[in-house]
Structure 1
Amino acid sequence: MTKIEQYIIDKIKTLRKEHCLTQLELSQKLDMSDSFISHVEAPSKRAKYNINHLNRIAEIFNCSPKDFWPDKPL
């Protein structure tokens, strides 16, 4: 996993917890498999967010997709 992938995963995980959503609930809001978020958040799994996921997650959290990215390159 790259530094940028981990950064984005961690950022979304923090938002998920701030909004009191479980991995299952966020997976369901994305219309993905029940285990999707748990696979993305698990370092041993290969699942990652794509651009469409990031856009949909931004809609769910009422923010911009760019809010998931660092201010400077990693």
Structure 2
Amino acid sequence: MNRYTYYDLIHHGIRCFATDRLGAYSEPEFSMYLSLMIGKDSCSDMSDDELINAVDNLRQEGYLEEIKRLIPH
């Protein structure tokens, strides 16, 4: 598993989520959004299963649609 691929997917998904739902996104708020959505404030603190689940949830919500080809199978 390439954790950095999952980190990038999660960052992208949360950026799309914040822009869609809140109208704006700033990088310093990433930890806050991640904590609210996942329960941890850093991707590096997440287990492999948590990373996979976070990406799956963001994909199901439609926030990874334009980059879904990057999601490992």
TM-score (norm 1): 0.46
The structure with more helix, counted as a fraction of residues: 2
With a CA cutoff of 8 Å and minimum separation of 6, indicate the structure with the bigger relative contact order: 2
Q: TM-score, normalised by structure 2?
A: 0.46
